[in-house]
């Protein structure tokens, strides 16, 4: 980036963001997404803390380079998502962050009603900024964008399994079109042919779009090198948005700006203790394969929950609890899951409604987590973004330190819990992340 471009960028966009010691403040629309971003920042050499919601009390942010505020704002009505995101923005500004990052899903999880467009719009307005980039790509996990179309591996988004998502079925891979349905402002494209010319050409294109009033720019991204170019071009923007991929490239740019000190082992945690439990409310294709792999290894180790039974009475929940207690007392692996194939999910949703079916599952898994953690579970793996949000809220967790990566996008984290001497080790797995043996291998990483 030339000096003129840097100055011009600050002039058109830097707005009123306070400059402080914390380099990056992020607002994540779900809890697994938050740990995914935090994981990449830690791997980039940033000392990072994840807070659950906007902290009500002051927290110690000394020797912290990045703070990720985890919200549950992906699937709620847009007005609530905007209000929560703006509250997070205000809190982060009070901490004096240099750059803001709105983290959403690498599969652009949203509906025509929002929430990505309306939230990005509200954040730009509040910052007095004129433009932001949209970078959902996460190449190491197979998410890439070409001519504005999102791919998962070699499939277009709408053919990747995401078209069956229980809460936000993604039936259009053209992100310019998807986002245009969520905002009244024009949506631009940074195509790969421009990006390939480097950060200078990228910035020129962004400026040209800004002059035409284009506030949101979907960015093509094929690989890690593209992320590096995007990070170089956007390091001075007040607000960037995307999946966690851009977060893996930004720390090097912060170092180049002289904003980061070198640290050793930014992600070291205490040794894990207590028994191990897996709870899964994700119905994503990857999770379904992980559930099947676990059940093949432990034919008697799994208990399936069904929202239709949960709606009738507490009986199935009590059976699940008894099953988990028995398995844990025998120190055998245990998985409680509601994860089901699309046909089964739609049947439950038809009978109960989408929201009620989801809420019943989330409540059942959360209450199992609360009971079993109280009884000695110390290593808890939760699969699913909404599911993780529900479990973490029920456990009244307020902060997470980020530790070792299990697979790209999923680290172990640790949190102190009232009434427990040792911290709880917690892994929050995004639905579509992780290798097929994730439910087994995650605990080997901790051992
Ligand atoms: N069998 C089921 N029928 C209907 N809804 C379900 C079922 N199992 C899980 N759900 C709901 O589907 C949603 C899955 O979303 P989430 O936890 O974010 O998973 P992912 O990370 O795969 O998107 C949750 O709200 C969950 O409660
Ligand atoms: O960016 C991603 O893909 C993840 O960080 C994420 O947000 C996934 O969401 P869930 O699949 O709902 O966990």
Task: Note the pLDDT of residue 19.
Answer: 54
Q: What are phi and psi of 197, to 5 degrees?
A: -85, -5
Q: Cα of 19 to ligand 2 centre, how many Å?
A: 30
Domain ranges of the chain: 3-256, 275-446
Residue nearest (by alpha carbon) to ligand 1 atom 6: 358
Cα separation, 135 vs 33, in Å, equals: 14
> Residue-wise pLDDT tens for the chain (447 aa)?
555 555 445 433 333 344 567 999 999 999 999 999 999 999 999 999 999 999 998 888 988 999 999 999 999 999 999 999 999 999 999 999 999 999 999 999 999 999 999 999 999 999 999 999 999 999 999 999 999 999 999 999 999 999 999 888 999 999 999 999 999 999 999 999 999 999 999 999 999 999 999 999 999 999 999 999 999 999 999 999 999 999 999 999 999 999 998 887 777 788 899 999 999 999 999 999 999 999 999 999 999 999 999 999 999 999 999 999 999 999 888 999 999 999 999 999 999 999 999 999 999 999 999 999 999 999 999 999 999 999 999 999 999 999 989 999 999 999 988 888 889 999 999 998 999 999 999 999 888
- In tens, the pLDDT along 75-95 reads 999 999 999 999 999 999 999
Sign of the C-alpha dihedral computed for residues 392, 122, 112 and 226 taken in this order? negative
CA distance to 109, 112, 158, 177, per residue, from 173 (Å): 11, 13, 6, 8
Report which DSSP code applies to 19: P
Q: Among residues of the chain, what percentage have pLDDT more than 70?
A: 95
Cα separation, 266 vs 402, whole angstroms: 9
Could you give the CA distance from residue 409 to residue 429 in angstroms, rounded to a whole number?
8
Rounded to the nearest angstrom, the distance between the alpha carbon of 353 and the centre of ligand 1 is: 13
Q: Which CATH architecture has domain 275-446?
A: 3-Layer(aba) Sandwich (3.40)
- The response to whether residue 136 sits with its C-beta less than 6 Å from ligand 2 reads no
How far, in Å, is the centroid of ligand 2 from the Cα of 355? 19
- Is the CB of residue 286 below 6 angstroms from any atom belonging to ligand 2? no
The domain made up of 3-256 has a fold known as Rossmann fold (3.40.50)
Ligand 2 neighbourhood includes 274 CB (under 6 angstroms)? no
- Note the pLDDT of residue 1: 56
Nearest-atom index, ligand 1, CA of 284: 22
- Rounded to an integer, what distance in angstroms lies between the CA atom of residue 64 and that of residue 416? 18
Ligand at shortest distance from the CA of 31: 2
Q: Is the ipTM of this complex over 0.85?
A: yes
Residue 32 alpha carbon, nearest atom of ligand 1: 21
Query: What's residue 2's pLDDT?
Result: 57
Distance 3 CA to ligand 2 centre (A): 36
Ligand nearest to the CA of 355: 1
**Any alpha helices (H) in 235-380, and if so which ranges?**
245-256, 285-297, 307-312, 315-329, 342-352, 354-374
Best residue for ligand 2 mutational test, from 433, 434, 438 (most atoms within 8 Å of Cβ): 433
Token digits of residue 377: 């579970």
> What pLDDT sits at residue 104?
98
248 lines ligand 2 (CB under 6 A): no
- Determine what percent of the chain is predicted with pLDDT higher than 90: 85
At 88, phi and psi to the nearest 5?
-65, -40
DSSP 350-416: HHH-HHHHHHHHHHHHHHHHHHHHHTTEEEEEEESHHHHHHHHHHTT--EEEEEEEEETTEEEEEE-
Structure tokens at 406: 């299990």
Q: Is 245 in the pocket of ligand 2 (CB under 6 A)?
A: no
Taking the CA of residue 430 as reference, the ligand 2 atom at the shortest distance is: 13
- Ligand 1 midpoint to CA 205 (Å): 40
Of all atoms in ligand 1, which is nearest to the CA of residue 165? 23
This prediction has a pTM of 0.91
How many angstroms separate the alpha carbon of residue 344 from the centre of ligand 1? 12
Ligand 1, CB within 6 Å, residue ranges: 165-167, 281-284, 287, 307, 338-340, 344-345, 348-349, 357-358, 361-362, 384-387, 430-431
Alpha carbon of 106 to ligand 2 centroid (Å): 6
386 Cα–ligand 1 center, Å: 7
pLDDT on residue 3: 53
């Amino acid at each position: 980036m030339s000096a003129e471009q840097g100055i011009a960028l600050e002039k058109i966009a830097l707005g009123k963001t306070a400059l402080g010691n914390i380099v990056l403040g992020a607002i994540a629309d779900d809890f697994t997404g938050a740990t995914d971003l935090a994981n990449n920042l830690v791997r980039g050499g940033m000392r990072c803390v994840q807070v659950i919601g906007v902290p009500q009390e002051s927290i110690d942010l000394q020797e912290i380079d990045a703070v990720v505020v985890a919200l549950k704002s992906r699937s709620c009505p847009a007005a609530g998502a905007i209000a929560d995101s703006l509250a997070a923005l205000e809190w982060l500004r009070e901490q004096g962050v240099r750059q803001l990052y709105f983290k959403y899903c690498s599969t652009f999880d949203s509906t025509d009603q929002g929430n990505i467009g309306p939230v990005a719009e509200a954040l730009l307005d509040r910052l007095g900024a004129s433009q932001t980039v949209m970078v959902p790509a996460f190449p190491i996990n197979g998410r890439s964008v070409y001519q504005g179309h999102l791919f998962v591996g070699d499939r277009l988004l709408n053919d990747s399994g995401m078209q069956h998502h229980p809460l936000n079925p993604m039936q259009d891979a053209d992100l310019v079109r998807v986002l245009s349905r969520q905002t009244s402002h024009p949506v631009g494209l940074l195509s790969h042919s421009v990006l390939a010319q480097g950060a200078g050409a990228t910035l020129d294109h962004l400026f040209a779009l800004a002059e035409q009033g284009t506030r949101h720019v979907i960015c093509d991204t094929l690989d890690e090198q593209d992320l590096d170019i995007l990070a170089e071009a956007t390091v001075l923007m007040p607000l960037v948005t995307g999946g966690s991929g851009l977060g893996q490239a930004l720390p090097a740019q912060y170092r180049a700006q002289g904003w980061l000190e070198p640290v050793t082992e930014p992600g070291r945690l205490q040794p894990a203790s207590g028994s191990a439990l897996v709870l899964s409310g994700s119905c994503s294709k990857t999770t379904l394969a992980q559930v099947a792999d676990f059940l093949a290894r432990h034919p008697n180790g799994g208990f399936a929950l069904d929202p239709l039974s949960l709606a009738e009475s507490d009986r199935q929940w009590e059976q699940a609890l008894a099953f988990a207690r028995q398995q844990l007392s025998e120190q055998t692996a245990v998985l409680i899951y509601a994860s089901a194939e699309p046909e089964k999910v739609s049947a439950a949703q038809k009978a109960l409604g989408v929201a009620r079916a989801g809420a019943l599952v989330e409540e059942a898994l959360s209450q199992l987590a609360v009971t079993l953690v109280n009884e000695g579970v110390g290593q808890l793996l939760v699969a699913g973004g909404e599911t993780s949000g529900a479990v973490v809220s029920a456990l009244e967790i307020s902060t997470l330190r980020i530790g070792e990566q299990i697979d790209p996008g999923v680290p172990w984290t640790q949190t102190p819990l009232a009434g427990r001497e040792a911290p709880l080790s917690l892994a929050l797995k995004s639905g579509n992340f992780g290798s097929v043996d994730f439910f087994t291998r995650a605990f080997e990483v901790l051992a």
